[in-house]
Amino acid sequence: MTREDVIEKLRSGELTPQDIAANGWMCSVTQRISKIKQPRGGYIKPKEFEQTMLDGGGIDELHPEENVSPSLVGIAVDYLTRFMSGTSVEEAFKVSKLGAHVVRQRRLFKKLLSNVYGLDDDSIVAAVKLSGFDSAYRAGVMAYRPVEDIEPDGDTVENIRTMVERSLRFFNQYGPKVMDGLTFEGGYTGYVATGDGDFLTNDTLWDFKVSKQKLQNKYTLQLLMYWRMGLHSIHPEYENVKYLGVYNPRMNIVYRLDVNDIPTDVISTVETEVIGY
């Protein structure tokens, strides 16, 4: 079933919200992955990705502790990188805006957005607070915590600045970016109804991770899903993808895989059993 089929059956009363939850329909990409038992090592084993350490230091050059959650740091690094690489500030923080609407904090959103100019301390603090609105959109009102209470300390701000600067150098080497805030209209299904990727360069679909851990198979499956959903979508840019890549600006490591090295049976299985084509 397509996403539209599920929505229509929900409207008509053929399906209840409980049916949808029980069958694992209408998930985001990450929610869908959490419900999937991957084969041993993963559909795509992380070790199959070529790993490259970039110049400019790694995790040891960053402060060891941050006082806001890793997910918030990751969102802030992602959105600030989008902004600093040429995307308008409104577009870079568009999901945050949707979250602010959900919790009726549009005025606060606008005030914070007006404080994002670059990589100065005030801009980074505002970006972290703005990132706090994302949870309201992605996970619902119950997941939201007032962004006024988010106060990144000096070490956290410095780490974010360093990671964004590394990300910009990464694009100098692997870019330029073609798109960011990737969506897959036409590629969503009844199982996977939402999900958005990070960056597209000429030949690579990239996801950014600021994890302190090595590459995990849930991330490699996420990339594979984005790629296949992109090919099923209305966006022609995905047809140029030759590589799947992860960049971790905390580690300053690039992971990349040639899509021709992905077995066709793996692609077929993920398309039918995971995404639902």
Average pLDDT across the chain, whole number: 93
From first CA to last CA, the distance across the chain in angstroms is 8
pLDDT score for 4: 76
pLDDT score for 14: 75
pLDDT score for 138: 83
> Of the given ranges (24-28, 137-141, 158-162, 225-229), which has the lowest mean pLDDT?
24-28
Of 68, 180, 72, nearest in space to 130 by CA? 72
The pTM score is 0.89
Q: For residue 211, what is the enclosing H or E element?
A: none
How would residue 10 be classed by pLDDT, with cut points 50, 70 and 90? confident
> Of the given ranges (45-54, 133-142, 143-152), which has the lowest mean pLDDT?
133-142
pLDDT score for 21: 65
Residue 36's alpha-carbon distances to 118, 139, 145, in angstroms, are 40, 19, 29
pLDDT score for 26: 75
Compute the radius of gyration of the chain from its Cα atoms. Answer: 19
Q: What is the pLDDT of residues 198-249, one digit of tens each?
A: 999 999 999 999 999 999 999 999 999 999 999 999 999 999 999 999 999 9
Domain limits of the chain? Answer: 3-53+175-275, 70-152
Q: What is the pLDDT of residues 17-38, one digit of tens each?
A: 766 666 666 788 998 999 899 9
